[in-house]
Amino acid sequence: MELIVEGRGIFLGKHQGRLRVSREGKTVQEAPLIHLQQVIVVGNGVSVSSDVIRVCADEGIPIHFLEETGTPLASLYAAGLTGTVMTRRAQILAYTDRLGVQLARLIVCGKIANQRALLRYIAKYRKETAPELFEWLQAEAAILADHTAEAEAIDAPTIDAARERFMSVEGRAASRYWGAIARIIPAELAWPGRETRGAPDIFNMALNYGYGVLYSQVERVLVLAGLDPYAGFLHADRPGKFSMVCDLIELFRQPVVDRTIIGMVNRGIAFETEDDGRFNSATRKRIAEKILERMESTELYEGKRQPVRCILQSEARHIATFVRGDLAVWQPFVMGW
């Protein structure tokens, strides 16, 4: 289970074998440590005791801190988790040769494949009720295959020499994908198109918050796999930027967040905001819970159905073994449709 904590005046403490959430001395919620996988602290005004930090470190339970918009602020792990060396050395070296180019290519192709899969997933439920929309979505998904072929043809001695071409393909594929999504969400949302940080509309805000929740999950599995979350390939290095997190999250945006948020808006689930335009606490919690529920749902992976959470962990480990040379071939995860 995950413990989501938010609200001014909240205190997170430890009581025997549980984490206890309280306000003004009254217990609001408790979570047994034996079942706890992670703690997510949202917004300001939450106090966390040193006993909580200690027991979570001992038990391998990460504590993630998010802004109210979903933007990640920080994560706390046991210090020993970042003590791996061999995988990180191999990851850094991969940046300097064709292995880094290969990784970037696989990530771009995997993302486009998941965009295609989600469009087909959405289309199949409209085959009888909206046959024209069904055919159009199928055609749009097929066109995305051309972008995959373009990405597969890109080669260079290092990722620095290939990144602009990869990002060009990824950007054009994203434009077509989001154009298709605009056709299947409610018109009353008045969606202006995909916008990232600072977007004022409900759909983009929900996507961005969902990506923030997913971001912390991706960072966690990379650390557990011994990878450096800052040392990416497709995304360029910048001080303080978790480029490797940005790389791996690309494979899971559509299967986890887009599918969940599109389902929520199409079912008419309310997204309530405060006077400042931000989501209220109940809405943020609902989005986070839905994203984490999706992480527990299963997809076909390596011959059997597995929770998406386990698939994410496996993908991080596969990348680690791939950069070390212990895995000859890595095929990115693609969701079923």
- pLDDT tens-digit series, residues 227-270: 999 999 999 988 888 999 999 999 999 999 999 999 999 999 98
Is 215 a domain residue?
yes
pLDDT number for residue 287 = 95
CATH classification at residue 125: 1.20.120.920
Is 240 a domain residue?
yes
Is 27 a domain residue?
yes
**Residue 294 near residue 263 (C-beta atoms within 8 A):** no
Q: Report the pLDDT averaged over residues 114-125.
A: 97
How does the average pLDDT of the chain come out, rounded? Answer: 93
Residues 134 and 16 in one domain: no
**Residue 38 near residue 73 (C-beta atoms within 8 A):** no
Q: Can you tell me whether residue 13 is helix, strand or coil?
A: strand
Residues 191 and 232 in one domain: yes
- Please tell me what DSSP assigns to residue 37: -
Q: Count the domains in the chain.
A: 2
Residues 207 and 251 in one domain: yes
CATH classification at residue 16: 3.100.10.20
Tell me which residue of 110, 81, 38, 154 sits closest to 322, measured CA to CA: 110
pLDDT number for residue 180 = 97
Is 139 a domain residue?
yes
Q: Can you tell me whether residue 289 is helix, strand or coil?
A: helix
Is 330 a domain residue?
no
| Residue-number span of the structural domain to which 237 is assigned | 86-324
Cα-to-chain-centroid distance, residue 72: 11
Neighbour tally for 23: CB within 10 Å: 13
pLDDT number for residue 259 = 97
DSSP string computed for 192-252:
-S---TT--SHHHHHHHHHHHHHHHHHHHHHHHTT--TT--SSSPP-TT--HHHHHHHTTT
- pLDDT tens-digit series, residues 298-322: 999 999 999 999 999 999 999 999 9
Residues 187 and 56 in one domain: no
What percent of the chain has pLDDT above 70? 99
Tell me which residue of 155, 128, 126, 154 sits closest to 140, measured CA to CA: 126
Look at residue 81 and tell me whether its pLDDT is greater than 80: no
**Residue 318 near residue 330 (C-beta atoms within 8 A):** yes
Look at residue 82 and tell me whether its pLDDT is greater than 70: no
Q: Is the dihedral of CA 112, 113, 118, 123 positive or negative?
A: positive
Tell me which residue of 213, 221, 289 sits closest to 253, measured CA to CA: 213
**299/336 Cα distance (integer angstroms):** 7
Residues 240 and 121 in one domain: yes
Q: How confident is the model at residue 83 (pLDDT cuts 50, 70, 90)?
A: low
Residues 161 and 273 in one domain: yes
Q: Please say which residue of 22, 45, 61 terminates a domain.
A: 61
Pairwise pLDDT comparison (85 vs 175), residue with the higher score: 175
pTM of the predicted protein model: 0.88
Q: Kindly state the greatest CA–CA separation across the chain.
A: 62
Is 67 a domain residue?
no
**99/122 Cα distance (integer angstroms):** 35
Q: How big is the CA angle at 280 (ends 277 and 281), to the nearest 5 degrees?
A: 155
**187/287 Cα distance (integer angstroms):** 21
pLDDT number for residue 318 = 97
* Phi, psi torsion values for 106, nearest 5 degrees: -65, -40
197: which 2 tokens? 């940080």
**Range scoring the smallest mean pLDDT among 16-25, 155-164, 285-294:** 16-25
**180/321 Cα distance (integer angstroms):** 36
Q: Report the pLDDT averaged over residues 45-59.
A: 92
Look at residue 84 and tell me whether its pLDDT is greater than 80: no
DSSP string computed for 65-83:
EE-TTS-EEEEE--GGGG-
Q: How confident is the model at residue 153 (pLDDT cuts 50, 70, 90)?
A: very high
